[in-house]
A and B are shown apart, each in its own frame.
Chain A
Amino acid sequence: MIIAATLAIFAAMALALLRAVLGPSLYDRILAVNMFGTKTVLLIALLGFLMGRPEFLDIAIVYALINFISVIGVLRYSGSNAFQHEDKTQDSDSRGDKWIP
């Protein structure tokens, strides 16, 4: 069961990387990187149990903290101009202009 879960986590990580490469906007990439980090924590825990060395859980704890800090650290600069989203598709802005946040 642990092997099956490990393989499933590997597949989920590959799909998250696919979204990080394809992602149309910057926020899709940040979302995919966050998801990749969460899956990495689970993968480290599962691999520790699979190899009979549960000491790897310390690394998993540190990885979870680093993942959180990195995403928050990137989004700390979301007030800058590089984070402004410009709509590249022309056909959707007629409907999107009515949205008032």
Chain B
Amino acid sequence: MDTLINYVSGFCLCVGALICVSGAVGVNRFNDFYTRMHAASVTDTLGAVLILIGLMLISEQLIVIAKLMIILLLGLIVGPTTSHVLAKSALKNGLKPILSDKRSDDISKN
């Protein structure tokens, strides 16, 4: 049972680290601000949740698990809020998204 928990914890840590690195690569590779923000916010939330669950599984004391749970809930609340505020502020201040030609034509027709 103990080794099974260790394996599950290692799997969660590895997948979370992989998601974090892929999000960082996506932030550097995408060419538009809004797609970059999509990559950053989605992978931040999921990677943080997986890594914190992986740490929760290998900790013994109850207070440590409670603190990790507090960090997890904070991340779940704070990350999407920050992304929302950032996207709204960028759109209001005139940072235009890059659209495809078809979508631009649809908007200009309406």
CB distance from B56 to the nearest CB of A (A): 10
Contacts of A100 in B (CB 8 A): 107
Also in contact, A65 and B74, with CB within 8 A (given A12-B24, A78-B89, A92-B98): yes
Indicate if the CB atoms of B36 and A28 lie closer than 8 Å: yes
Contacts of A30 in B (CB 8 A): 86
CB distance from A67 to the nearest CB of B (A): 8
Indicate if the CB atoms of B55 and A61 lie closer than 8 Å: no
Interface size on B, residues (CB 8 A): 56
Q: Which label, helix, strand, loop or mixed, suits the secondary structure of the B interface?
A: helix
Indicate if the CB atoms of B14 and A5 lie closer than 8 Å: yes
CB distance from A23 to the nearest CB of B (A): 9
Interface size class of chain A, counting residues whose CB lies under 8 Å from the partner chain: 35 or more
> Which residues of B74-97 are within 8 A (CB) of A?
74-75, 78-79, 81-82, 85-86, 89-97
Indicate if the CB atoms of A83 and B89 lie closer than 8 Å: yes
> Which of B10, B52, B61, B67 has the most chain A CB atoms inside 10 A of its CB?
B67
Also in contact, A27 and B86, with CB within 8 A (given A35-B40, A54-B59, A95-B99): yes
**7 A-B pairs (CB sep. < 8 Å):** A5-B51, A9-B20, A16-B24, A27-B89, A35-B27, A35-B40, A49-B59
